Structure 1
């Protein structure tokens, strides 16, 4: 595990501290360790991309950060205070931290008008101001102008990009400080993805919003994030400024993910096998059974092959410093 000396000093707005989330196994099987020890910090005005394969635990981690799943161990803090799990506390918290889902068609009620969809949060939180003005401002900020033209439309009358903008407006109407966006452009056409990413960047610049963007797409991370955290089998295995991680990746897993991008140099790295079962996390480095560096003999030549198979590299700190949980990367430095 290695760290860069230029860690950010701004206090975190949202933080995970040794977070574990385990789900009971069936019929006496071991618990599934969906999130297996994560430290992560998101500072005010910062966009962090959480990247990894399907099933690596990134959505479960996002749900824990939102208070939708209570950690088995560890804690979540917001604005320096531990998250409380009473109904009143969670309701107040979710006004400040809003979720933007992957599929706008699934998250919008087909019977509701755009106005009702955006106003729903205001009604849940018993907003006392001018509801129509708040809805109009949120739609306008989300790029649906003039907003009044969309009030009475229903989801089936909108394009995919417009539906995603309605979902974003529904989050913005409560004036949150942080958005958690789970695959925010995965269901959109390529021509629309750039518009939604540009919108998220504009909201950060205009409103000072922070964001955690959950994605399997490193190209998306490159275009939107300040910092990236790469997750594998419940752990963050590499983190740092997006340009540093994506131009000079150190973890073999990050290198494999990057190798399949269209403009990546060299041949794609084909990982052997499937990700291990989270109820049976391998000993040592959890990536070692699929690691191309270990399989090629490079780890043996670096003198770390035994450590790769037997010694856990540990949990990376979440204070904004760059780090990699890899014995070979540490030895090669």
Structure 2
């Protein structure tokens, strides 16, 4: 006898997962350790683009480098394709074939003495590629939008435009056929006219190759144009996360609201945050944003009955699985009310 069952299959496991990740650095002359990443859960699913946004110094680049295995965590762990990340040299070499980094400055990423061909072929040579190197380089350049690829083989970086150099960097990542790319400010150094082309390229690569991507940026406009989900980071933690349209059209955390308020198309007056983010070696008690929070300063948190909690009660690490979440006493109180 057979029994019909409803399709209740669980969602596919994430391609990459960080669980309670911590990265800290020793302070100078006996100073307290700087907690650059201070408890982060984050999932990236296959074929998904996640934007990690926040001010400079919030920990997002350190988090990205830890996910790449470049900075071992001091707590928590990273899993890729269901297996814990192994930090031995051999295991990391194999991992970095599957997970590639695209840096923000193509001029700094490319050796000025290397031709485009050598720049793209470098990864193949490091990993002992046994196939047709010329064909692989040509295919990667073509996928990155440099066509015909042979026309670029013998050029040097100084002979290319900024957009072309960024495409070469992307081709250097694509040549190894990775499953995930981590793009750190991929269009920050490019002219506005070229930014859209590179973003369109990343979206096309996701569609054609099934690539996953973590895009690290301070630009919420970029996140809106490219990401499926967004994670907003402040002082070592993700403070708001969810589907990009939900978070960016109805932000709940005061920090996210402030970041969005300075975009040209944002309604109302920009929110000017006072002061700088606190020192990561001296993270304040309570909500780590409370010293700069416009909601607390205006008295709204007091009226909602959460001002003391804002100043003295820490918030838990947000689940990285993808639902809309916010680490804010005031936001939670106003929803509950």
TM range, normalised to the smaller chain? over 0.9
Q: Does 1:320 align with 2:322?
A: yes
Distance in 2 separating the partners of 1:241 and 1:321: 7
User: SS of the counterpart of 1:35?
Assistant: strand
**Aligned-pair CA distance for 1:314:** 1.1
- 1:113-156 CA-to-partner distances (Å, cap 9, x unmatched) read 00000000000000000000000000000000000000000000
Q: Which residue of 2 aligns with 1:141?
A: 143
- 1:222-274 CA-to-partner distances (Å, cap 9, x unmatched) read 00000000000000000000000000000000000000000100000001111
User: Which residue, out of 106, 109, 115, partners 1:107?
Assistant: 109
**Aligned-pair CA distance for 1:93:** 0.1
User: SS of the counterpart of 2:268?
Assistant: coil
Moved over 3 A (4+): none
**Aligned-pair CA distance for 1:319:** 1.0
User: SS of the counterpart of 1:181?
Assistant: strand
- 1:283-322 CA-to-partner distances (Å, cap 9, x unmatched) read 0000000000000000000000000001011100011111
Q: Which residue of 2 aligns with 1:307?
A: 309
Question: Which residues of structure 2 form unaligned runs of 5+?
Answer: 1-9
- 1:15-63 CA-to-partner distances (Å, cap 9, x unmatched) read 1100000000011110000000000000000000000000000000000
Distance in 2 separating the partners of 1:322 and 1:86: 36
User: SS of the counterpart of 1:321?
Assistant: coil
Distance in 2 separating the partners of 1:75 and 1:89: 15
> Cα RMSD over matched residues?
0.6
Distance in 1 separating the partners of 2:135 and 2:124: 12
Q: Does 1:234 align with 2:236?
A: yes
- 1:149-201 CA-to-partner distances (Å, cap 9, x unmatched) read 00000000000000000000000000000000000000000000000000000
Distance in 1 separating the partners of 2:52 and 2:14: 16
Query: TM-score scaled to structure 1, two decimals?
Result: 0.97
Q: Does 1:157 align with 2:146?
A: no
Distance in 2 separating the partners of 1:290 and 1:331: 19
**Aligned-pair CA distance for 1:10:** 2.7
Question: Which residues of structure 1 form unaligned runs of 5+?
Answer: 1-7
Q: Which residue of 1 aligns with 2:39?
A: 37
User: SS of the counterpart of 1:91?
Assistant: helix
Query: TM-score scaled to structure 2, two decimals?
Result: 0.96
Q: Which residue of 2 aligns with 1:3?
A: none
Q: Which residue of 1 aligns with 2:125?
A: 123
Distance in 2 separating the partners of 1:214 and 1:15: 16
Distance in 1 separating the partners of 2:13 and 2:300: 39
Distance in 1 separating the partners of 2:238 and 2:138: 40
Q: Which residue of 1 aligns with 2:4?
A: none
User: SS of the counterpart of 2:215?
Assistant: strand
**How many residue pairs are counted as aligned between the two chains?**
326
Larger relative contact order (C-alpha < 8 A, sep ≥ 6)? 1
User: SS of the counterpart of 1:153?
Assistant: coil
**Aligned-pair CA distance for 1:11:** 1.3
User: Which residue, out of 192, 200, 203, partners 1:201?
Assistant: 203
